[in-house]
Amino acid sequence: MHKYVYLFKEGNADMRELLGGKGANLAEMTNIGLPVPQGFTITTEACTQYYEDGREINDEIQGQINEYIGKMEEITGKKFGDKENPLLVSVRSGARASMPGMMDTILNLGLNEDVVEVIAEKSGNPRWAWDCYRRFIQMYSDVVMEVGKKYFEELIDKMKAKKGVKQDVELTADDLKELASQFKKEYKKKIGKEFPSDPKEQLMGAIKAVFRSWDNPRANVYRRDNDIPYSWGTAVNVQSMAFGNMGDDCGTGVAFTRDPATGEKGLFGEFLTNAQGEDVVAGVRTPMKIAEMEQKFPEAFKQFQDVCKTLEEHYRDMQDMEFTVEHGQLYMLQTRNGKRTAQAALKIACDLVDEGMRTEEEAVAMIDPRNLDTLLHPQFDAKALKEAEPIGKGLGASPGAACGQIVFSAEDAEEWAGKGKKVVLVRLETSPEDITGMKAAQGILTVRGGMTSHAAVVARGMGSCCVSGCGDIKMNEAKKEFTLAGITFHEGDTISIDGTTGCIYEGIIPTVDAAIVGEFGRVMAWADKFRTLKVRTNADTPRDAKKAHELGAEGIGLCRTEHMFFEEDRIAAFREMICSDTVEEREKALDKILPYQQSDFEALYEALEGDSVVVRYLDPPLHEFVPTEEADIAALAKTQGKTVEQIKAIIDSLHEFNPMMGHRGLRLAVTYPEIAKMQTRAVIRAAIKVNKEEGWKIVPEIMIPLSCDSKELKFVKDIVVKVADEEIKAANAKLEYKVGTMIEIPRAALTADEIAAQADFFCFGTNDLTQMTFGFSRDDSGKFLSAYYKEKIFEQDPFARLDQTGVGKLMKMAITLGKPVNKDLHFGICGEHGGDPSSIEFCNAIGLDYVSCSPFRVPIARLAAAQAAIKAKNNK
């Protein structure tokens, strides 16, 4: 027989997978002798089984639950539905990872018309008894039967109005009794059946509701955002009640052992007398600060302080606890490692090391790398932010703080920023043409679009602040104005937006720049000691490169060169090259670009102070570069000595039905070797020059994109090597350089043994590799992936989390095939996944040498790489 139910006494903290976090910790607290109301936990496996059985609790599991009710009755000396000494319980969900968005707790289960009379009489406290009963009906109706809280709240409000009282506690026993009866009528009206009076029926209903809540939409979204697999399931805890609502010598509270906002050591929390469950956080009355509890409840407070000390020492981490005091006696209802801000996480980790509670390695392992994001962007001055009142809210799409003058178009953003103004770009939505304007702006605010809208994705990539989808904005782009919260904003008015919370403020809130100092610096230094993966950055400009270098990047893993052709002083020359008829004409046009490109590389090398730079050769299809404006076309025709029609015909000929799979990547170098030659001259000349000036030993790494075949790669590589060697010889210099390729087409991975013979390194371009492996267009998949999530076909966006099963298998294959052919071959990744912690763990496991990610993700990657190394070592 499989065991699906455990008494608290039978479990411990290590059984989190089976008992869920809450259950495992209730068991652990029981074992270390803390006062915990006893009960049992139904395992996560029972939840999985429930789904396998078509959302039914099978007889075997029901049988075990009934058996454990018996055991619980023995332990507590109380009986379900009993007329002498009735057992009342709470039913609480509890997944492995704490998950807001799941089921609310049901308290006081086991009550019915008979039992409530019994406890009213026995306790001599009818007010309490009826308070429990009306709460139970309310919670059960809401949580199990989904009747909706508001109907009950309305009835309470009516009753308070009728009695002329303000607070729940002022209602008398009779009022509450009347409310209970109204609640039951409401239940019958909505459900069409009597409120269940059999405690066992109530219990099974509640347990099913917990299992069901694992699959509710809120829970599904939370899981996807937090890497929690659907297959885990939730446990259910059934616990005997402790009562905080029996009078003024009772109460309930929540507390942290350290401040979750700052990490400061010391009790932090709140307590409410004569209250139950969520009253403290629900704001029914104003609770007291935890420290004030000392005067009112000296005994219980002393006891609680001891418990806090015990728990911190036991778990060696900041604890978040829930407790209840019943007639002066303390009961512990929950403990867990408390959620905290990134700032607090760093302080607590350092303090725990200083207090001798944790090793440096453990401290590094206990910080969630994804949290660091909030520390890496400019922040609002905390004090100023506290005093400010938001006028609206959108989605916190890309963290950071931005303030400035409002502009309504990308062109204006560029122009104003060019004049040294700080601007916030406000648009209905953004599109690819807006990118330069988005870069120039401090932040971006859009009316439409979700977390994966163009604005959101691009802003995150650039590390810019973005608030998306603020539907309350009434926009008039033509008149350059919008209204929000009754205020009309015009061009040039000031606004502040918070990309972390999504809040929007009128006027300027001062910001402070992010830096890796203090505790942040200390933790990062520890991380660097433990990691073996190198962390590089994806950067195309000296500014980004410098930022990344400050944030700890060890070189550039991906420098996209296309933007270097877009800039005003080069685009004309590049268009000439595209519209040329002969090699000579093309070379002449490219010669104009060469000095610019060379100086771009020099600036990048300088910014990185000698670290390696991987330069990726031109990748996008040529049609992206051609002019669309009539005037530009005419100008181009003139310089080329062609007619406008001829130029238009050339542009039309570049049209492709599927440009992602069209004439791009190294295919451009195959058809126009002149481009690769020019880029090689620029890369090599810049390296020779900077090495000479600075006395450095930069080893430029030339990366050929999109290869799928070794002969194709050899063709381009031979051109590169020939030109590079000529340049080195002509300069009479010594320079080591590497030529490698991106692995981003499945065929490249499949033929990696052949390709390895032509490459010094492989860099996995997992954006394209994911796209080509799935056959999903990255730009279009958002439209149908939501249906995949809903049907549980996929739980994750493969473009955000590396698909280890398929794409990962291709990566492993490429390494396994490539290594024996070329033992010096080194491996990296430069897709979006290079900055995602769970993907980084995989990269570490399959033996990559480096990950490369956007500048602001560098510290996250450093920490994630350290955690991956620590985990791998401990699993050995």
Contact residues for ligand ADP, defined by CB under 6 A: 37, 90, 92, 105, 107, 239, 241-242, 252, 277-278, 322, 324, 333-334
Q: Which H/E stretch holds residue 827? A: strand 826-829
- Which residue lies nearer to ligand ADP by CB, 237 or 452? 237
In whole angstroms, what is the distance from residue 15 CA to residue 8 CA? Answer: 11
Nearer to ligand ADP, 242 or 669 (CB): 242
Rank residues 402 and 759 by Cβ distance to Mg ion and give the closer one. Answer: 759
Smallest separation, CB 137 to ligand ADP (Å): 16
Please say which residue, 242 or 858, places its beta carbon nearer to ligand ADP. 242
Q: What are phi and psi of 627, to 5 degrees?
A: -70, 150
Q: Which of 503, 830, 843, 853 is catalytic?
A: 830
Write the interaction track for Mg ion spanning residues 305-344; mark x where CB under 5 A is met and - where it is not.
-----------------x-----------x----------
Dihedral sign, Cα of residue 501, residue 507, residue 513, residue 518: negative
Positions 636 through 695 that interact with Mg ion (CB under 5 A): none
Among residues 47, 132, 454, 853, the one annotated as catalytic is 454
Q: Can you spell out the DSSP letters for 183-233?
A: HHHHHHHHHSSPPP--HHHHHHHHHHHHHHHTTSHHHHHHHHHTT--GGG-
Q: Shortest approach of ligand ADP to residue 26 CB, angstroms?
A: 10
What three-state secondary structure class fits 235?
A: strand
Partner whose binding site includes residue 765, from ligand ADP, Mg ion, none (CB under 5 to 8 Å by kind): Mg ion
Question: Which of the choices ligand ADP, Mg ion, none does residue 768 contact, using the CB cut-off of 5 to 8 A by kind?
Answer: Mg ion
Nearer to ligand ADP, 183 or 271 (CB): 271
Question: Reduced to 3 states, what is the DSSP secondary structure of residue 258?
Answer: strand
Among 454-462, 645-653, 692-700, 741-749, the segment contacting Mg ion (CB under 5 A): 741-749
Instruction: Please say which residue, 159 or 308, places its beta carbon nearer to ligand ADP.
Output: 308
> How far are the Cα atoms of 208, 308, 409, 823, 875 from residue 48, in angstroms, in the given order?
12, 34, 52, 46, 27
The entry of ligand ADP, Mg ion, none near residue 134 (CB within 5 to 8 angstroms by kind) is none
CB of 438 to ligand ADP, least distance (A): 39
Contact present, 109 and 140 (Cβ < 8 Å): yes
Residues 714, 758: contact at Cβ < 8 Å? yes
Is the CB of 103 or the CB of 176 nearer to ligand ADP?
103
Binding mask 760-799 for Mg ion (x = CB under 5 A): -----x--x-------------------------------
161, exposed or middle or buried, with CB in 10 Å at 0-12, 13-18, 19+? exposed
The torsion of the CA quartet 529, 531, 537, 543, rounded to 10 degrees, works out to: -10
Q: How far is the CB of 673 from Mg ion (least distance, A)?
A: 20
Choosing among ligand ADP, Mg ion, none, which partner's interface includes residue 107 (Cβ < 5 to 8 Å by kind)?
A: ligand ADP
Shortest distance (Å) from residue 102 CB to Mg ion: 11
Contact partner at residue 159 from Mg ion, ligand ADP, none, CB < 5 to 8 Å by partner kind: none
> How far, rounded to the nearest angstrom, does the alpha carbon of residue 123 sit from its chain's CA centroid?
49
In the bound complex, what is the minimum distance in angstroms from residue 497's beta carbon to Mg ion? 32
Beta carbons of 537 and 378 less than 8 angstroms apart: no
Interacting partner of 126 out of Mg ion, ligand ADP, none (Cβ under 5 to 8 A depending on kind): none
Q: Is 833 a catalytic residue?
A: no
Active-site residue, 830 included: yes
Q: Is there binding between residue 744 and Mg ion (CB under 5 A)?
A: yes
252 binds, among Mg ion, ligand ADP, none (CB under 5 to 8 A by kind): ligand ADP
Task: Give me Rg for the CA atoms of the chain.
Answer: 32
Q: What are phi and psi of 83, to 5 degrees?
A: -85, -15
Burial of 3 (0-12, 13-18, 19+ CB in 10 A): exposed
Closest to ligand ADP by CB, 39 vs 837, is 39
Beta bridge partners of 496: 403, 505
Q: How far is the CB of 98 from Mg ion (least distance, A)?
A: 8
The Cα–Cα gap between 276 and 251 comes to 7
727 binds, among ligand ADP, Mg ion, none (CB under 5 to 8 A by kind): none
The secondary element (H helix, E strand) that includes residue 545 is helix 542-550
Tokens 């956007």 identify what position? 854
Cα separation, 129 vs 121, whole angstroms: 9
Q: Output 78 or 531, the one with its CB closest to ligand ADP.
A: 78
φ, ψ of residue 319 to 5 degrees: the values are -105, 145
Structure tokens belonging to residue 348? 């607590």
Q: Out of ligand ADP, Mg ion, none, which partner does residue 90 contact, by CB within 5 to 8 A per kind?
A: ligand ADP
Residue with the closest Cβ to Mg ion? 768
CB 19 to ligand ADP: min, Å: 14
Alpha helices in 104-143 (DSSP H): 113-123, 126-139
Shortest Å, Cβ 830 to Mg ion = 9
CA distance 126 to 327: 16
Q: How many binding residues for Mg ion (CB under 5 A)?
A: 5
Positive or negative, the Cα torsion across 319, 320, 324, 328?
A: positive
Strand pairing category for 503-506 and 234-240: unpaired
Shortest reach from residue 280's CB to ligand ADP, in Å: 7
- Sign for the CA dihedral angle at 799, 804, 806, 811 comes to positive
Of 369, 402, 256, 262, whose CA–CA distance to 318 is shortest?
256
Tell me how far apart the alpha carbons of residues 852 and 559 are, in angstroms, rounded to a whole number.
10
Considering the complex, state which of residue 103 and residue 120 has its C-beta at the smaller distance from ligand ADP: 103
- By DSSP bridging, strand 251-258 and strand 265-273 are antiparallel
Q: How far is the CB of 105 from ligand ADP (least distance, A)?
A: 4
SS3 content of the chain, % helix, strand, coil (to 5): 50, 15, 30
CA distance 510 to 21: 40
Partner from Mg ion, ligand ADP, none binding residue 241, C-beta < 5-8 Å depending on class:
ligand ADP
Question: In whole angstroms, how close is the CB of 105 to Mg ion at the nearest point?
Answer: 7
Q: Which is nearer to Mg ion, 253 or 437 (CB)?
A: 253
Query: Are the beta carbons of 505 and 391 closer than 8 angstroms?
Result: yes
User: Which of ligand ADP, Mg ion, none does residue 175 bind to, with CB < 5 to 8 Å depending on kind?
Assistant: none
Q: d(Cα 108, Cα 41) in Å, to the nearest integer?
A: 17
- Please report how close the Cβ of residue 645 comes to Mg ion at its closest, in angstroms: 34
Query: Residue 744 touches which of ligand ADP, Mg ion, none (CB < 5 to 8 A by kind)?
Result: Mg ion
Closer residue to ligand ADP (CB): 235 or 860: 235
Lookup result for tokens 């089976």: 18
Instruction: State CA 6 to chain mean position distance.
Output: 34
Give the sign of the dihedral formed by CA 750, CA 755, CA 757, CA 761: negative
Residue 334 vs 770, nearer CB to Mg ion:
334
Residue 335 binds what, of ligand ADP, Mg ion, none (CB under 5 to 8 Å, by partner type)? none
Q: Angle, nearest 10°, between helix axes 126-139 and 173-191? A: 20
Q: How far apart are the first and last CA of the chain?
A: 33
Count of CB atoms within 10 A of residue 783's CB?
9
Active-site amino acid positions: 454, 830
The residues that touch Mg ion, with contacts defined as CB under 5 A, are 322, 334, 744, 765, 768
